Amino acid sequence: MDENNNPDFKQVICVHRVGGSKTICMPCVEAEYPQLLEDNTVFKEYLDNMHLLNPEIFPKDMGNGYVLDGFTEPSKKLEYFRMRRIKILETGEVYTIRPSFVMPYMIAKTEDVEKALYLRKYAVHDEALTYVFGRDDRYWNRAERSFGRNSIVGTTIKESEKLPQDLVADEKVTNFNGDKICIAETVAEGCVLGAAVCKGNETTQLTEGYGIFAVEAKNVNPKYEPETVNTDGSTSTQAAWKAIFSNILVIRCFLHAFLNIRNYCKKQYTKLKQKIWHVYHAKQIFFSKNQAIKRICFVKSTRRCGIRQSYSSMQ
């Protein structure tokens, strides 16, 4: 679909995402797995203990009861490997229990591929991995890409009340196959919650990129609405977040505003810089001091400072 001709891009970015994985990865030692697979009582005791120790990896409704729901079909990829399934009584949803020593989609045992995938961190080519570890180039490419199928928000935040209300957003400009692209990053409380590749930095492109974070967050809480997002001042970035969350308060990065003042208010810069950082460190009276700085900049300097537009959303 041509995003430039799409009247409601916000709706389009949501349709290709599905909510929630129906596989639970549970810590397990391979030597213990045969008994867990064959003995219902042992498996339930183990599962209940894991639920007690790590409730965040299980569905919320599991505490209200569940039953065993048979097994998966034997895997043709991994020596006819089978996994157990459980059904949540309250919702009727069925989850597959995957032991941690097996990779997603049962492409291999974890110990058989972890060294090769570790080398991808250092940009070792798939061809080199094939030469050293066997298989073929496409296998290693698919194994690496499989990590990107999971929701970043969903695997990080399990409880809806822990979703952040204040966000930071920025784009990292880089190259991919000779083309200029942007990585739309969403961060909160020191944790990366979104990193999506965008073909450019136009509003519609950034809306699609940042919108992936929004969809994943709404999978955790359908009513999720963050209060603020801090950006570097790009109008495309600000418009993208307004398109995704219409009620969000966009706050420009204070440092970028300071740098604008330094560049365009050179005659008054020496006098202004101390006042500006005094505003930054003020907590209770930030907004009133911010208004004072605006008046100083526009009365004593040129209109090129750009503070009025940059901070219009903070008035």
Residue that terminates a domain, selected from 193, 220, 247: 247
Residue that terminates a domain, selected from 247, 268, 291: 247
Indicate which CATH number applies to the domain containing 174.
Answer: 3.30.420
Whether residues 167 and 145 share a domain: the answer is: no
Least confident of 138-147, 211-220, 254-263, 284-293: 284-293
CA distance 84 to 40: 10
Backbone angles phi, psi at 130, to 5 degrees: -65, -40
Whether residues 200 and 142 share a domain: the answer is: no
Two structure tokens written together for 191: 């944790």
Whether residues 272 and 241 share a domain: the answer is: no
Whether residues 165 and 193 share a domain: the answer is: yes
Asked if 209 contacts 3 with a C-beta cutoff of 8 angstroms, the reply is: no
Residue 30 has pLDDT above 90, yes or no: yes
Whether residues 205 and 236 share a domain: the answer is: yes
Whether residues 200 and 231 share a domain: the answer is: yes
Whether residues 96 and 138 share a domain: the answer is: no
Residue 214 has pLDDT above 80, yes or no: yes
Whether residues 189 and 261 share a domain: the answer is: no
User: Pick the residue with more confidence: 246 or 280?
Assistant: 246
pTM: 0.66
Specify the pLDDT at position 313.
42
What are 13-28's pLDDT values in tens digits?
Answer: 222 334 456 889 889 9
Whether residues 171 and 236 share a domain: the answer is: yes
Whether residues 9 and 32 share a domain: the answer is: no
Specify the pLDDT at position 301.
44
Specify the pLDDT at position 119.
96
> In which band, very low, low, confident or very high, does the pLDDT at 179 lie, cut at 50, 70 and 90?
confident
Whether residues 137 and 191 share a domain: the answer is: no
Residue that terminates a domain, selected from 218, 247, 276: 247
Residue 220 has pLDDT above 90, yes or no: no
Two structure tokens written together for 268: 């008054």
Phi-psi region of 165 (alpha: psi -120 to 50; beta: other; left: phi over 0): alpha
> In which band, very low, low, confident or very high, does the pLDDT at 293 lie, cut at 50, 70 and 90?
low
Domain count, the chain: 4
Specify the pLDDT at position 20.
53
Domain that holds residue 79: 23-102
